[in-house]
Amino acid sequence: MGSSPSLGSSQSGKQLVGNFLKSRREGLSPQSIEFYEGYLRLANTVIGFHITGQDISQFLSNLGCSNGGKHAYYRALRAFYNWLYSPKSGHGLNPQDNPMLLVESPKVERKILPSLTTEQLDYLIDQTECIRDKAIISLFADSGLRLSELANIDQANIDWQHRLIKVVCKGNKEGLAPFGQRTEKLLKEWLSQHRAGGKLWDIRERGIAWMLWRLEAKTGLPCNAHTFRRTFASILSKRGVDSLHIMRLGRWQSLAMVDRYTRSVQFEDSLKLYTSIME
């Protein structure tokens, strides 16, 4: 590879990964940090200054997991090497020598992932065990909040007049999440029972995930934060809200992500058109 690394080249792969994660901690969610740390630890044989694109391609090719799993390794390695070959790392490497420039992304099947109908949402809320859980499901669907965003809401950050909640989004940025009348009613009913402390919930992120898992087992419906986020986007799309507005309301950073979350709606609309033509 063209340029010579600085004196820091004596660092081990473990040290390099540690420095990479340290540089990212303020801009990423704990889940993203965990993602990078886990995959880079497993890819330690292709972490270092003298790794070639061929080394990385061979490593990915030899993995026994699915292409989706290989793509996760690819994303983690790409983020690491983009940092290593940037001025941020302090190693003075030429970005054009980045080995990831020579590595092809593993092909990933583009699945149409499930979203819920309004009737299914009503059923889920009806099947929950307490007013707190009803409020959580309703808020998930109304706002498209991620699990960490919803779990860490402060009561002081709820704007009841405009039905908005200030949350800390992906990348440690602040955002606003809207909610509707039913969610407002459920939240106020919950707060009339729970007033201790400044947090909205008396349950943490892991507890919410466990509650959703139990509800999915009980109802047979997909019940997780990602499904509710897709449902949020899909319902808005079905009601004629354009992608730019959905992107802003859901705090996405690109229209491509909105397209990914509303793919099931696009297929349903195309199928309806097909059926109307063929009948």
pTM: 0.60
Q: Which is more confidently placed, 137 or 109?
A: 137
How far is 39 from 271, CA to CA, in rounded Å? 39
Residue-range domain boundaries for the chain:
7-102, 118-276
Write the pLDDT tens digit of every residue in 6-37: 333 446 888 999 999 988 766 566 777 888 99
How far is 99 from 102, CA to CA, in rounded Å? 6
According to CATH, the superfamily of the domain at 118-276 is: Intergrase catalytic core (1.10.443.10)
Give the chain's count of helices (H) and strands (E): 13, 3
* CATH of region 7-102: 1.10.150
Mean pLDDT of the chain: 85
Write the pLDDT tens digit of every residue in 47-93: 999 999 999 999 999 999 888 889 899 999 999 999 999 999 999 99
How far is 80 from 89, CA to CA, in rounded Å? 10
- Helix 131-143 to helix 205-219 angle (10° resolution) is 90
pLDDT value, residue 5: 43
